[in-house]
Amino acid sequence: MRLIERYLFRELLGPALLATTACSAVALLASSLSQFDLLVDQRQNAMVFVRVIGLALPQLINLLLPIALLVGALVALNRLHTEQEIVICFAAGMSRWRVISPAMRLAAMATLLSLALSLWVQPWAAREGREIRFAVKTDLAATLVRAGEFTEPGSGLTVYAQSIDRDNLIHNLFIHQDKGNGGATTYTAREGVIATKNDKPVLIMRKGSNQEFSSSGVLNYLSFDEYVFDLSSLFEDDELLHYKISDRYPHELFFPDLTQDWERKNRVKLLAEGHSRIASPLYNIAMMAMALAAVIGGSFNRMGYGKRIAAVGAAAAVVRIVGFAVQAACDDNVWFNVLQYAVPLGATWWAMLQIFRQKVAHYVPICPTGKAGLTAGRA
């Protein structure tokens, strides 16, 4: 890469990184707001919250990278062309391909990064996030008691607690349990804590009382300093962790286990997701090519390229929306997967046509008189 090409590459790299960082930060903020119930309702610590948000980052980057690349390239190219730096490159004899090659190298690097994220990092992060959310969902301490609310964690069981402190110590606890024979038992305690005893979950209640109504209508009352309430019946749950299609690795998408009923029924969707993982990174090249077409794909204009940039930006949005629509259509028809590659490649081909159909005006000497004249030719 020559000096001028390295300069163009650096001028493109900075805005692209800045746009990617800004878009990812906004997306992370929106994602964190949707996951805020981990702290409020599920009473998880801040580390769990940070891990869930961080594990969503690879998918967000993979989704936003083409858009950030388009925005960053438009900003950098518009400045370079308005300040006539690209015009100087053409006047110095650089071909059109040499001028756009730094941008295409950057797009190729982004494509390889996006491909690595899509094929390996994203499914790993999605699985980790799925496992954390599953652990939170099945967290007995979080689902059994909620401060200020009556909850029904099991059949015939009602639990209420006035408050829960940071150490998960439950204050002013109330438990009502219906018996199968028509009786009922009510527990009240000043405080309680969920623990494990003999590898089984239990609720240890302190400084409370037990009121039991038998089926014959007899009331038994018992006060206690400490009482252990067995929670193992509530902990028995046949719910299993199931990975969604977006959580699976490429070999699981392209070569599903057809002996499994779910994978056999969703084979077409798995294949569509696999092709999407490979085709989506191509939008990085398509968006960069469209950015180049917006600025270089037309005649020089000292007043700027606002109209061309707006038109190409709208076209880029349409291309990406069409790509999402094609991906959704592939869930029902396996032959539509060809279109997942055709959309970004078609956008790249159109953009390249706009770039290379333009003629570059430059000065060459006219031999008989020695005067410089303006001529035009294809770069």
Query: Both 11 and 121 in a single domain?
Result: yes
Query: Both 59 and 121 in a single domain?
Result: yes
pLDDT in tens, 269-281: 999 999 999 999 9
Residue of 101, 116, 72 lying closest to 281 (CA atoms): 116
Tell me what pLDDT residue 91 has: 85
Residue of 109, 118, 101 lying closest to 9 (CA atoms): 101
For the chain, the average pLDDT equals 84
**Res. 349 pLDDT band, cuts 50 70 90:** very high
Q: Which of 235, 269, 285 is the last residue of a domain?
A: 235
Tell me what pLDDT residue 245 has: 92
Give percent above pLDDT 90 in the chain: 48
Residue of 147, 179, 175 lying closest to 161 (CA atoms): 147
- How far is residue 336's CA from residue 334's CA, in Å, rounded to a whole number? 5
Contact 187, 195 (CB under 8 A): no
Query: Both 207 and 295 in a single domain?
Result: no
pLDDT in tens, 87-103: 888 888 888 999 999 99
Query: Both 132 and 151 in a single domain?
Result: no
Query: Both 116 and 148 in a single domain?
Result: no
Residue of 78, 143, 53 lying closest to 305 (CA atoms): 78
Tell me what pLDDT residue 237 has: 52
Q: Which of 204, 235, 266 is the last residue of a domain?
A: 235
- How far is residue 179's CA from residue 215's CA, in Å, rounded to a whole number? 9
Query: Both 255 and 273 in a single domain?
Result: yes
Domain with 171, as residue range(s), is 143-235
Total domain count for the chain?
2
User: Higher pLDDT residue, 341 or 369?
Assistant: 341
Structure tokens at 311: 């038109």
- How far is residue 115's CA from residue 122's CA, in Å, rounded to a whole number? 10
User: Higher pLDDT residue, 352 or 47?
Assistant: 352
**Res. 21 pLDDT band, cuts 50 70 90:** very high
pLDDT in tens, 24-66: 898 888 888 877 776 666 666 778 888 888 999 999 999 999 9
Tell me what pLDDT residue 367 has: 47
Query: Both 265 and 117 in a single domain?
Result: yes
- How far is residue 163's CA from residue 112's CA, in Å, rounded to a whole number? 51
Helix ranges (DSSP H) in 176-255: 232-235, 250-254
Q: State which of 179-188, 306-315, 351-360, 361-370 shows the largest mean pLDDT.
A: 306-315
Contact 60, 28 (CB under 8 A): yes
Q: Which of 206, 235, 264 is the last residue of a domain?
A: 235
| CA–centroid distance for 51 within its chain | 13
- How far is residue 29's CA from residue 35's CA, in Å, rounded to a whole number? 10
pLDDT in tens, 281-335: 999 999 999 999 998 887 766 666 788 899 999 999 999 999 999 999 999 999 9
* Residues 6 or more apart in contact with residue 344 via CB below 8 angstroms: 279, 282, 283, 285, 286, 319, 323
Contact 285, 344 (CB under 8 A): yes
- How far is residue 233's CA from residue 144's CA, in Å, rounded to a whole number? 12
Query: Both 252 and 130 in a single domain?
Result: yes
Query: Both 345 and 304 in a single domain?
Result: yes
Query: Both 217 and 247 in a single domain?
Result: no
Query: Both 114 and 45 in a single domain?
Result: yes
pTM (predicted TM-score): 0.79
* Overall average pLDDT of the 256-276 stretch: 93
User: Higher pLDDT residue, 3 or 65?
Assistant: 65
Is the per-residue pLDDT at 368 higher than 90? Answer: no
Query: Both 38 and 71 in a single domain?
Result: yes
pLDDT in tens, 217-246: 677 888 999 988 887 766 555 556 778 899
